[in-house]
Amino acid sequence: MNTSSSEQKWQRRKEDRPAEIMTAGLRIFADRGFAATRLEDVAEAAGVSKATIYLYFASKAELFAAIVRDIAVPRFDEIEKLLDAYDGPSADLLSFVMDRLRDIATTTQLPALAKIILAESHNFPEIRAFYRDHIILRGFGNLSRILHRGIEHGEFRPCNVEAAVQSIIFPILMNALARNTFGELPQLDPDGFFAAHAEFVMRGLAANREA
């Protein structure tokens, strides 16, 4: 594996190591799941030794959490920044956020990681607690804010907000999980699905138009 001209066994690249390890870890975790992923394979893919992983991450579970955090946190931050600043119709705000969720579900590996949580967190309580507190509750909270706002403004009908949050998010998540698991069943085609689900949601939330 050495380049021909150099006899160097390794280089100091303190800045880049964590990102390289996380990139390698993401690919292998998403492919094989948590338990089946060997840190030695992650190390090899990242071009470091197994021990080097432990310089930057306290444990396998911490590495996994860091990977999830790296994907999720910037997106949540962006969404929350918008929520704080926004001052238009709640339906538009909800549409925008649902579009972002679609992007996350279709362009990142977060669904594959969510699958790992569902599948294996029974054996690994640390990763479950992290995902519950930093992903689920945070995501629920953000959507909940939008719905409460819309209800207060009379744009959405009063309803069980915690339940509505699930009616909105779970199809998006589960569609991604199902595609991840069953491949491209025509029923699961994301293009048609997301537009239709957004329409469905808007009608489900619409305030009664009365005279």
Partner DNA sequence: GTCTATATAACGATAGAC
Partner DNA sequence: GTCTATCGTTATATAGAC
Piece in contact with DNA (CB under 7 A), picked from 23-31, 54-62, 106-114, 139-147: 54-62
196 binds, among DNA, a second copy, none (CB under 5 to 8 A by kind): a second copy
The stretches of 33-132 forming alpha helices (DSSP H) are: 39-46, 50-56, 60-85, 90-107, 110-120, 125-131
Residue 175 binding result from a second copy, DNA, none, given CB thresholds of 5 to 8 Å by partner type: a second copy
Which partner in DNA, a second copy, none is near 51 (CB below 5 to 8 A by kind)? DNA
CA distance 136 to 142: 10
Query: At closest approach, how far in Å is the CB of 113 from DNA?
Result: 17
Separation of first and last alpha carbons in the chain: 76
Which residues are within 8 A (CB) of 202 and not within 5 positions of it... i.e. 6 or more apart? 91, 94, 95
Binding mask 34-73 for a second copy (x = CB under 8 A): ----------------------------------------
38, 49, 158, 160: which one binds a second copy (CB under 8 A): 160
User: What is the rounded CA–CA span in Å between residue 64 and residue 134?
Assistant: 13
| Tokens (6 digits) for 21 | 């390890």
Q: Which two tokens stand for residue 59?
A: 């444990």
102 lines the binding site for DNA (CB under 7 A): no
Give CA–CA dist 151/146, Å, rounded: 9
User: Which string of x and - marks every residue 80-119 that binds a second copy (by CB under 8 A)?
Assistant: -----------------------------------x-xxx
Phi-psi bin for 49: left (phi > 0), alpha (psi -120 to 50), beta?
beta
Q: Which does 207 bind (CB under 5 to 8 A by kind): DNA, a second copy, none?
A: none
19 binds a second copy (CB under 8 A): no
Query: Is residue 58 helix, strand or coil?
Result: coil
Position 122 contacts DNA (CB under 7 A) = no
- CA-CA-CA-CA torsion for 34, 39, 42, 46, nearest 10 degrees? 150
By CB under 7 A, residue 109 contacts DNA: no
Q: Where do contacts with a second copy occur on this chain (CB under 8 A)?
A: 33, 115, 117-122, 128, 132, 136-137, 140, 157, 159-160, 162-167, 170-171, 173-175, 177-178, 181-182, 185-188, 192-193, 195-197, 199-201, 203-206
